[in-house]
C-alpha cells in the first residue's frame, strides 16, 4: 500500500511530573473508580518524542495539539509552553486552545485575544460546561467566525441535536466535531447515528474520527468499524479526518493498530480521498500551510 502522509489533528502533550495543570489525571478521586483503561499508559509525561516513538513507521508530517488542561486558568500557560516546545521540537504545528465557559463574556474575550497572539493558535474546544443555547455561546461562536478560528465541538449524542440547531446561524464558522461525536457507551449507537446525521447536514461541519477507544475500550478495527463507517457515510472523505487522540487512546492499544484500522476503512476510497482523510483535510482546516 502507498504510504500516505499523516497529519494527526488531535494529540496531547503534557508534563504532569512538573506542571500541576491536570488535576483530573494527577488527583483522581479514590471514591470514584475510573472507567478509563490503563491509566499508566496515559498519566505520565508525554511529548513529541514520545508520540514519534509511538507512531514509528508512519509518515507523520504534522500534529495539532488540543488543550487538555483541567485546572482552571492553566490553558493560557499551556499555550505559552507549547510555543516554546514547537520552537525546539518542531511540533506541534498548530494548537487548539480553550476558554473558561462560565467566566463571563469579558473574561472569555480577553482569553481569546490573548491566545490569538500565539502563532500556533487556530481555535478552541471547551471540554465541558458550554451551553449551546447560552448568549455567551452565541457571542463566542460569532467571535470565532469573525476571526476565522476553528470551533472544535465537544458534543455527545444527547447534545448533538441542540448543537446542530445552534450552529445553523453560523455558516461561515469552521466546525470540527471531536471524537466522532463522543458516544458515551456502545448502547448509544442509534442516538449517536441520528445526531451525527443532523450535524452532517451542515456543510461547514467536519468530523474528527478519533477517541472511539474511550467508548469501545479497544482499538480493534473490527469493533471500531461500524462507527468509523457511519462517520464516513455522513461526512464523506472531504469533511472527515482521522486522528489518534494519543496518549489517551493509547490506554486501549498501540498506534499501529489504530491506524491500520483507519487504513482498512479508507481502502475503498480513491487515493486522493485517502490523502484527504489522513492529512489534507486537517492541513486545510487547521491552516497548516
Considering the entire predicted model, what is its pTM?
Answer: 0.95
Tell me the angle at which helices 160-167 and 135-146 cross, rounded to the nearest 10 degrees: 60
Q: Residue 215: exposed, middle, or buried by beta-carbon count in 10 A (0-12, 13-18, 19+)?
A: buried
Is there a contact between 232 and 268 (Cβ–Cβ < 8 Å)?
Answer: no
Q: What is the CA radius of gyration of the chain?
A: 18
Is the previous residue joined to 247 through a cis bond, with omega within 30 degrees of 0?
A: yes
Cα-based distances in Å from 12 to 50, 65, 123, 190: 11, 6, 15, 30
Q: How many residues would you count in the chain?
A: 289
pLDDT at position 1 is 46
| Structure confidence by residue, pLDDT tens digits, 219-255 | 999 999 999 999 999 999 999 999 999 999 999 999 9
Does the pLDDT of residue 185 top 60, yes or no?
A: yes
Fold observed for domain 6-285: TIM Barrel (3.20.20)
pLDDT at 96 over 80: yes
More confident position, 23 or 237:
237
Amino acid at each position: 500500500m502507498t504510504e500516505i502522509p499523516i497529519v494527526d489533528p488531535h494529540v496531547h502533550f503534557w508534563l504532569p511530573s512538573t506542571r500541576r495543570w491536570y488535576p483530573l489525571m494527577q488527583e483522581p478521586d479514590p471514591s470514584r473508580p475510573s472507567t478509563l483503561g490503563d491509566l499508566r499508559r496515559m498519566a505520565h509525561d508525554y511529548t513529541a518524542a514520545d508520540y514519534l516513538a509511538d507512531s514509528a513507521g508512519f509518515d507523520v508530517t504534522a500534529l495539532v495539539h488540543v488543550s487538555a488542561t483541567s485546572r482552571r486558568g492553566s490553558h493560557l500557560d499551556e499555550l505559552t509552553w507549547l510555543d516554546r516546545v514547537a520552537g525546539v521540537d518542531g511540533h506541534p504545528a498548530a494548537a487548539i486552545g480553550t476558554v473558561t465557559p462560565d467566566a463571563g463574556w469579558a473574561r472569555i474575550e480577553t482569553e481569546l485575544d490573548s491566545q490569538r497572539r500565539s502563532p500556533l493558535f487556530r481555535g478552541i474546544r471547551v471540554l465541558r460546561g458550554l451551553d449551546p443555547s447560552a448568549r455567551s455561546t452565541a457571542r463566542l461562536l460569532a467571535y470565532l467566525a469573525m476571526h476565522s478560528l476553528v470551533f472544535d465541538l465537544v458534543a455527545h449524542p444527547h447534545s448533538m441535536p441542540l448543537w446542530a440547531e445552534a450552529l445553523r446561524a453560523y455558516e461561515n464558522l469552521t466546525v470540527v466535531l471531536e471524537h466522532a461525536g463522543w458516544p458515551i457507551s456502545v448502547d448509544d449507537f442509534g442516538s449517536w447515528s441520528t445526531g451525527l446525521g443532523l450535524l452532517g447536514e451542515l456543510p461547514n461541519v467536519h468530523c474528527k474520527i478519533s477517541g472511539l477507544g474511550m467508548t469501545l475500550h479497544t482499538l480493534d478495527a473490527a469493533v471500531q468499524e461500524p462507527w468509523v463507517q457511519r462517520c464516513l457515510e455522513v461526512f464523506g472523505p472531504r469533511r472527515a479526518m482521522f486522528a489518534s487522540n494519543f496518549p489517551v487512546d493509547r490506554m486501549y492499544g498501540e498506534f499501529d493498530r489504530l491506524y491500520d484500522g483507519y487504513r482498512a476503512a479508507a481502502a475503498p476510497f480513491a487515493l486522493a480521498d485517502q490523502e484527504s482523510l489522513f492529512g489534507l483535510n486537517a492541513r486545510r482546516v487547521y491552516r497548516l500551510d
